[in-house]
Structure 1
Amino acid sequence: MHNSDAFNPEVFRQQAHAVVDLLADYLQKVQEAPATEPVLPWTPPHEMLQRWTSDFDQARDPQGLIRDVIAGSNHLHHPHYVGHQVTSPLPLSAVFNLVSSLLNNGSAVYEMGNVSSAMERRALQWMARRLGFDDKADGVLTSGGSAGNLTALLAARQAKAGFDVWQNGQDAGRPLTLLVSDQAHYCIKRAVQIMGWGEAGVVLVPSDARYRLDPNRLEEKFHEAEASGRQVIAVVGSACSTATGAIDPLQKIADFAERHKLWFHVDGAHGASFVLSAKLREKFVGIERADSVVWDAHKMLLTPALITAVIFRNGRHSYESFAQKATYLFGDEQARLENWYDVGMRTLECTKNMMGFILYASLASYGEGFFAQYVQDMADLAQEFAHMIDEAPDFELATPPEANIVCFRYLGQGVAEKDLDALQERVRSRVVTSGAFYLVQTRLRGGLFLRTTLINPETNEEHLHELLRALRQA
């Protein structure tokens, strides 16, 4: 391509039309003939590296390049994709992502991202209402659940530590810690250690037989931490956990947090979307009492990654996560509180894409009812899959699913208990490298289990029957 063509609207029109045609053909192919199309065209890492040279002396045909990328990628839109908690995004939301990329309005200060800033605030207000928060709630969008949980816990530290860590450092008071289930996502511990609290900054609370935080152990762990000289400032609930989809007893955790004047944070990165279903909402009773909630749109709201909401019941806390001064951008402290539209003062990013536009446009284009039905359908499918497993003598369910994550293992015939972990690894590896299905594995108390996240709206019961057959064959 000549440099004169790089920004030529007609050249772009032709290229973009061709790319959309490629993507539409791809979607049709993986949806209509899943049995013949691999989910993951497995290629060992060293072979994949050899496919892509670092020689950029000559320009390549972009359509050919995109064809190669599509052909070699993990196909999340394939109905046999039941792997990680990354969704098959709505095709239209991918188009919104294209608009964001072309406009490139970084949403840190209003002047650079005026439309997206307003859309972000409206989308967050809608999410806050669905969680049960009132008009005092506020928040931000950030890049993923790890950044979201860190943002919330930084606010907890500023609100509950009793000293200003930003100004005076971590040693200005007692060592800080928080309580969290032993099933919590690793990013909670990572956030704590980023904040400088050390290994002891996380106190793990044992989970019950269904992998939910055991609220009866909270008092014990709280007093153990305090007796060791540490100051407990927060308790974290999972809704739902990554490994099994377990939903912690949020109401009882909220009672405990209130009794001890602790910050109550809910990691709802995966599960918060289930509050949209009237049938499932009761499992999340207590989330409306949280001080902060993380909610990923790129999981159960079907947007491209990454879009994570960090929502504070008291919106003023959203200004405390990054309580540093940048007067050349945001002015004095009072101006920061009034100028909600300059969101860079409240986010890890100084530049981010138009997340607010992508989320708002997706919600506006399909309506709340669409997403409520989708999350309910995925939860219902998980229940049906669990029933299939219960009915199959050669499979074992780890725990009844509460959301759309199902953990199970293949027992085989006459396989000794000590050999079951190796069996799971072997059958999963064979299924994944064959391209038949993409699923993952997780280690639970009973050993190694296969794990599925039912997140693709095109996946149905027959596909799951095929999965069991593929595992037996493997």
Structure 2
Amino acid sequence: MTDTSHEEPTPQVSLDPDDWDAFRAQAQRMLDAAIDRMQASRQGRVWTELPAEIKDTLKAPLPREGWGTDDVIGRMEALLPYGAGNTNPRFFGWVHGSGTPSNILAEMAASSMNANVGGRDHGAIYVEKQVIRWCRELFAFPETASGIVVSGTSMATIIAIKVARDARLDFASRKAGVCGHGLVGYTSTEAHSCVARAFDLVGLGTDALRRIPANDRLEIDMDALKAAIAQDRAAGLTPFVVVGTAGTVNVGAIDPLDQLADLAKDENLWFHIDGAFGALGVLSERVRGRLTGIRRADSLAFDFHKWMHVNYDAGFALIRDEVLHRAAFTDRPDYLKAKDRGLAGGNPWPVEYGPELSRGFRALKVWAQLAEFGTDRLGQMITRNCDQAAYLGEQVASTPGLELLAPVALNICCFRHVVDGLPGPVLDAMNDEIVIQLQEQGIAAPSTTQLHGRTAIRVNITNHRTARKDLDILLREIVRIAASPEVAAVREAARPA
């Protein structure tokens, strides 16, 4: 009699391909399409709206039966021309890094490992530990510092503010919350909104964040900051953190970091720096002298996917005191207990330094970028972007009909098109339309912002592919579009009755 006790009741089916050779050919097709797309980054339109027919296919109902590999690859290939455009050298909107072809390979390797980097003892953990050591060295933090790779500066800021909050309250807040403690913090009106979001998410509320006015260089006003701290202390509140910015989102201004460090020491405040893109200026000979205060911070948040050009997404939280950092997050229930040996080793685990247990292998693409190019070459790209922004500012100043709205502090140039005699609201509407026309025509993709109550064309240069000729094209096209019927129609519609 045949023993069938170990046979599957139904034929065994997995999610692996039935034909690995066929899958290999399909994967090569997808890889070729991805590389072709990045190789063509300098060509064609910057941004193209996703066609209606593709939008319609993305409204399909949940499939009960799979569409198959060939079908899915075809649909992914169809998406490739319709990204945000930030791989193109004339993408100037917001602060988006441009990525590198090599990072495609790192993403492939990480995907094939499918590692959960929340903990345990495996290769991905050691790669992240090396990235942490490299970041300590990069920013001259002590060996006692700790860090964690996260999605971006927004998450890194949440981690840093939580550590600052818990440390001030001797970690009782982890169980008892923060009600009744009157904690308040300070940052500039030019700071990124992620700082206020962090105050919200760690239970302090955005009203606990004092937004200090900026000076004429759009840096935090130190006298106003000191006055606000004194006023809060007199009111019986507890100042606990001051947040400086290394590269403000609007114009790239750098707060006086060393002065903030001195103030934080005198006032017993945690000193956090939002260095989303500007902190990596330490790689540039042109910029690093203005960033010496970073090494004095208690915590630093920044992104690899901006000025280091790591493919999205990858950010970092760097905390000066590992003991405080771990105390703010560590929680090892029985099923996550540490072991000295085996797969449950590798202690301490990354989950003890942030809120996520399930974490992808982001550190590999960061490691690969630093390992392949080195800090000198990456720094050269940063220096070139700053030189290009300065060049753009000079060209704006010498071009009739254009007006510079802020000093070029780093890699961002803000200006607008002006026509004598037109009121502010009309000029605002015109400049907004110019930016939309640039985007819709596929020429370039700057963004807009408000400076001193006026709409600015904001040109951020965080792209290793950008050349001066791209800036020349931008200005030429702005002048052309400003004289177009589309902008004339907006101007007439915006005129006061």
Deviation at 1:228, TM superposition (A): 3.4
CA, structure 1 residues 350+192, in 2 after alignment: closer, same or farther (shift >3 Å)? Answer: same
Q: What is the identity, as a one-letter code, of the residue corresponding to 1:380?
A: D
- Quick check: 1:71 aligned with 2:55? no
| Partner Cα separation in structure 2 for residue 348 and residue 157 of structure 1 | 15
In the alignment, which residue of structure 2 is the partner of 1:120?
A: 128
Q: Secondary structure at the match of 2:40?
A: helix
In the alignment, which residue of structure 1 is the partner of 2:488?
A: none
Contact 2:307 2:463 in 1 (8 A): no
| Partner Cα separation in structure 1 for residue 357 and residue 169 of structure 2 | 26
Deviation at 1:473, TM superposition (A): 2.0
Deviation at 1:345, TM superposition (A): 1.6
Contact 1:120 1:356 in 2 (8 A): yes
| Partner Cα separation in structure 2 for residue 115 and residue 74 of structure 1 | 33
Contact 2:171 2:327 in 1 (8 A): no
Q: Secondary structure at the match of 1:299?
A: coil
Q: What is the identity, as a one-letter code, of the residue corresponding to 2:80?
A: I
CA, structure 1 residues 109+280, in 2 after alignment: closer, same or farther (shift >3 Å)? Answer: same
In the alignment, which residue of structure 2 is the partner of 1:283?
A: 290
Deviation at 1:414, TM superposition (A): 4.6
CA, structure 1 residues 264+104, in 2 after alignment: closer, same or farther (shift >3 Å)? Answer: same
Q: 1:186 aligns with which of 179, 185, 193?
A: 193
Aligned length: 460
CA, structure 1 residues 136+121, in 2 after alignment: closer, same or farther (shift >3 Å)? Answer: same
In the alignment, which residue of structure 2 is the partner of 1:210?
A: 217
Q: What is the identity, as a one-letter code, of the residue corresponding to 2:152?
A: G
CA, structure 1 residues 325+341, in 2 after alignment: closer, same or farther (shift >3 Å)? Answer: closer
- Where in structure 2 are the equivalents of 1:260-271 lying within 5 Å? 260-271=267-278
| Partner Cα separation in structure 2 for residue 54 and residue 304 of structure 1 | 29
Q: Secondary structure at the match of 1:403?
A: coil
Q: 2:446 aligns with which of 439, 445, 451?
A: 439
Deviations 1:19-44 (A, max 9, x none): 2221232233332xx3xx21111258
In the alignment, which residue of structure 2 is the partner of 1:335?
A: none
- Quick check: 1:239 aligned with 2:246? yes
In the alignment, which residue of structure 2 is the partner of 1:408?
A: 415
Q: What is the identity, as a one-letter code, of the residue corresponding to 1:80?
A: R
CA, structure 1 residues 371+8, in 2 after alignment: closer, same or farther (shift >3 Å)? Answer: farther
Query: Normalized against structure 2, the TM-score is what?
Result: 0.87
Deviations 1:14-71 (A, max 9, x none): 122212221232233332xx3xx21111258x77632423243444523321221012
| Partner Cα separation in structure 2 for residue 100 and residue 412 of structure 1 | 53
Contact 2:329 2:351 in 1 (8 A): no
| Partner Cα separation in structure 1 for residue 37 and residue 50 of structure 2 | 20
Deviations 1:265-312 (A, max 9, x none): 001111111101133111112111100001210111111122111111
Q: Secondary structure at the match of 1:221?
A: helix
Q: 1:366 aligns with which of 360, 367, 373?
A: 373
Deviation at 1:340, TM superposition (A): 4.7
Deviations 1:202-258 (A, max 9, x none): 011111112111112121111222233321100000111111111110000001000
Q: Which runs of no fewer than 5 residues in structure 1 stay unpaired?
A: 333-337
Deviations 1:176-198 (A, max 9, x none): 11111111111110110111212
Deviation at 1:13, TM superposition (A): 2.1
| Partner Cα separation in structure 2 for residue 115 and residue 3 of structure 1 | 26
Q: What is the identity, as a one-letter code, of the residue corresponding to 2:167?
A: A
**Greater mean alpha carbon deviation, residues 59-68 or residues 362-371:** 59-68
Contact 1:244 1:405 in 2 (8 A): yes
Percent identity for Structure 1 against Structure 2: 26
- Quick check: 1:380 aligned with 2:387? yes
Q: 2:29 aligns with which of 18, 36, 41?
A: 18
In the alignment, which residue of structure 2 is the partner of 1:394?
A: 401
Deviation at 1:320, TM superposition (A): 3.0
| Partner Cα separation in structure 2 for residue 339 and residue 264 of structure 1 | 31
Deviation at 1:5, TM superposition (A): 6.0
In the alignment, which residue of structure 1 is the partner of 2:204?
A: 197
Query: Normalized against structure 1, the TM-score is what?
Result: 0.91
| Partner Cα separation in structure 2 for residue 170 and residue 304 of structure 1 | 37
CA, structure 1 residues 447+320, in 2 after alignment: closer, same or farther (shift >3 Å)? Answer: farther
| Partner Cα separation in structure 2 for residue 415 and residue 149 of structure 1 | 42
Contact 2:171 2:328 in 1 (8 A): no
Q: What is the identity, as a one-letter code, of the residue corresponding to 2:136?
A: A
CA, structure 1 residues 24+278, in 2 after alignment: closer, same or farther (shift >3 Å)? Answer: same
Deviation at 1:323, TM superposition (A): 4.2
- Quick check: 1:108 aligned with 2:98? no
In the alignment, which residue of structure 2 is the partner of 1:53?
A: 59
Q: 1:421 aligns with which of 420, 425, 428?
A: 428
Contact 2:424 2:454 in 1 (8 A): no
Q: Secondary structure at the match of 1:141?
A: strand
- Where in structure 2 are the equivalents of 1:448-459 lying within 5 Å? 448-459=455-466
Q: What is the identity, as a one-letter code, of the residue corresponding to 2:465?
A: E
Contact 1:88 1:456 in 2 (8 A): yes
CA, structure 1 residues 411+253, in 2 after alignment: closer, same or farther (shift >3 Å)? Answer: same
Query: RMSD of aligned C-alpha atoms?
Result: 2.2
| Partner Cα separation in structure 1 for residue 265 and residue 132 of structure 2 | 25
| Partner Cα separation in structure 1 for residue 370 and residue 138 of structure 2 | 13
**Which one has a bigger Cα radius of gyration?**
2
CA, structure 1 residues 140+163, in 2 after alignment: closer, same or farther (shift >3 Å)? Answer: closer
Q: What is the identity, as a one-letter code, of the residue corresponding to 2:60?
A: S
